[in-house]
Structure 1
Amino acid sequence: MEDIPKPIPAKPVRFMDQVRLAIRRRGLAYKTEQTYCHWILRFIRFHGRKHPKDLTIKDVETFLEDLAIGQTVSINTQKTALNALSFLYNKFLQRPLGELDFAHTQRARTLPTVFSHTEATAVIQQLEPLHRLMVSLMYGSGLRVMEAVRLRVQDIDFANNCIIVRESKGMRWRRTLLPTSLVDLLKQQVAFVLVQHKKDLAMGYGAVYLPNALARKCPSAPKEPGWQYLFPAPSFSLDPRSGIRRRHHLHERQIQRAVKKPLIKQ
């Protein structure tokens, strides 16, 4: 359940807990919170664990420059670190950084590796049925891994041959294509989830995780069939915030590992 926010005190004393609270109050995704906190901590450690309020703009530039020159990180990695520190100073500490002067990572002049349709199909065919369905859906609908594992039963719109893809907070969404070749398999998956959900309810479980805003707006929604994950985990796990045992979605690393195996064989 790594994409569910960990609990923090209502009035946090620790600096990083205060940062996390500020991020959550702005409604940013939990992945963003994790990323920002990671880079803020790296920045603090880079400067001998000094408090950020005691550091200067030059210290920010030195850290970002070291990422490019000393650690040769990618352009996106350096940009992510910059975004984290911009939030820290511009939003949290209310000390605008202004225009920074530091060495930027140079874009690598390499072509990305792209599978042909035949190569992608060959990899997919080597996967076990559930992973094959998930990866086929990702490939056919243009879904990211996290978008696929977070799908809910009601996100599959069979009537209109489309999929509703929600962002992490569950509010904004977009539509994408539902491959007709996967309709029957997806209907079977939905049927499996609904049967499993009835069993979970009978055992006193069945309340799935929902983002806070949705949970407050629709208190009964966590137990509704439509909100259940399309690709649920095989077992229950403990929600770190509420202490409630829930059935979360399948972990994204399972998909990543499943795809990596046939690639290694090749």
Structure 2
Amino acid sequence: MRADLRVLHYSMATEKAYVRWIKRFMSHVGSTELEQFGQKDIESFLTKLAVEGQVATSTQTQARSALLFLYECILGVRIGFLNAVRVKRPETMPVWYSRQEIGYLLENLTGVHRIMFLLMYGSGLRHKECRRLRIKDVWFDEGRLLVRDGKGQKDRMTFLPKEVVPDLQRQIAWATQRHHQDLEEGYDKVYLPFALARKYPNAGREIGWRWVFPSRQRARDRRSGIVWRHHIAEQQFANALSTAQRAAGITKNGVPHSLRHSFATHLVEDGTDLPTVQKLMGHRDIETTMNYVHVDVGINSRVRSPADRLGGADQLE
């Protein structure tokens, strides 16, 4: 299953998750001989996740996808409609930051985390897209960023905020030093997706293919076994943002993706049309873009809270 996932270009995170679900399913049925189990057992497992585990909708969906991949793609067993208890998707409101809160957060971020913050908020990058940004895709002269292999394996162009340019240039200079150090010490490889490693065997020696935000230490890749310098880890910026929120006194439960919501919302507030925002964010459907825009929450400015009429407040108009 791991081999097929890699041939089909599934991410490392998806591979780990699918394997983890298969192991949990083995524990559920009490056997590793999964050929003898089928649709009813999958339904029982998914129902247990919903009823006893009380997992989120996305968690149950991921477990379902992993099992379907195993049975249909690996074992060659056709699975029909799964009659399992489904987790109801809650209608939650995502978190985004006001412009003032963006300023407060920026005051409490320094170094590489400040640069990443400005790119995610100022360019609409996803957290993963920011971490995986390569030096060759930063176009300073044009003021553009080329986002490669985004969600859905799509490329797109977005703008490069002028505010981040000086710090980003210094960051790339630091990354270049790490690159030369790696070459001197015999580490001339860099991760390339799909068949690019065969197409560009010497890419690791070229600075353009290196990460804008490289890790400070080299590590052995779990898939290839090659020792190289990967990009910055996921938790580094997430932890820095959480710390900045506490320091700024912001009680919202914001996450790195909240910056992408803020990017879309503030663009529309400034008068940018939705099709342009859609293009900058790399969405296929404009309905998806609208889920990121939180300008009008359905409260008319002329509608007032009854509490504001207490004590003669309605006489102030």
Match of 1:207 in 2: 189
Matched residue, 2:118: 136
Shift of 1:247: 1.7
Structure 1 segments unaligned to the other structure (5+ residues): 1-18
Shifted more, 223-232 versus 207-216: the winner is 207-216
Q: CA deviation at 1:44?
A: 1.5
Contact 1:215 1:222 in 2 (8 A): no
Distance 1:105 1:232, change over 3 A: same
Counterparts in 2 of 1:50 and 1:167: CA distance versus 1, 3 Å: same
What is the match of residue 283 of structure 2? none
- Residues 110, 212 of structure 1: CA spacing in aligned structure 2 closer, same or farther, 3 A cutoff? closer
Aligned runs of 1:55-74 on 2, under 5 Å? 55-74=37-56
CA shift in 2, pair 1:89/1:136, >3 Å: same
Write the deviation string for residues 76-135 of structure 1: whole angstroms up to 9, x where unpaired.
Answer: 111111111111111111111111111111122432332222213312321222111112
Cα shift at 1:243: 4.8
* 2:167 aligned with 1:167: no
Indicate whether 1:93 and 2:78 are aligned. Answer: no
How high is the sequence identity, in percent, across the aligned residues? 38
**CA drift at 1:242:** 5.1
The answer to whether residue 10 in structure 2 is matched with residue 28 in structure 1 is yes
Aligned partners of 1:155 and 1:163 also within 8 Å? yes
Report the number of matched residues.
Answer: 248
CA contact 2:9–2:194 (8 Å) conserved in 1: no
- Report deviation, 1:199: 3.1
Higher mean alpha-carbon deviation, 116-125 vs 98-107, is at 116-125
Which amino acid counterpart does residue 183 of structure 1 have in structure 2?
A: V
1:29 and 1:168 in contact (8 A); partners too: no
Report SS of the residue matched to 1:189: helix
Shift of 1:159: 2.9
Gaps of 5+ in 2: 250-317
- Equivalent position SS for 1:256: helix
Q: Which residue of 2 aligns with 1:80?
A: 62
Matched residue, 1:110: 92
Match of 2:177 among 192, 195, 198: 195
Counterpart selection for 2:138 from 146, 156, 162? 156
Residue 68 of structure 2 aligns to a residue in which SS? Answer: helix
Structure of greater Rg: 2
CA distance in 1, matches of 2:88, 2:35: 30
Taking the aligned partners of 1:89 and 1:243, their CA distance within structure 2 comes to: 28
- Could you tell me whether the CA contact under 8 Å between 2:190 and 2:204 is conserved in 1? yes
Task: Indicate conservation of the 8 Å contact 1:62/1:102, yes or no.
Answer: yes
Match of 1:221 in 2: 203
Deviation at 1:28, TM superposition (A): 2.0
Q: Give the letter for the 1:191 counterpart.
A: A
Identify the residue that residue 9 of structure 1 maps to in structure 2: none
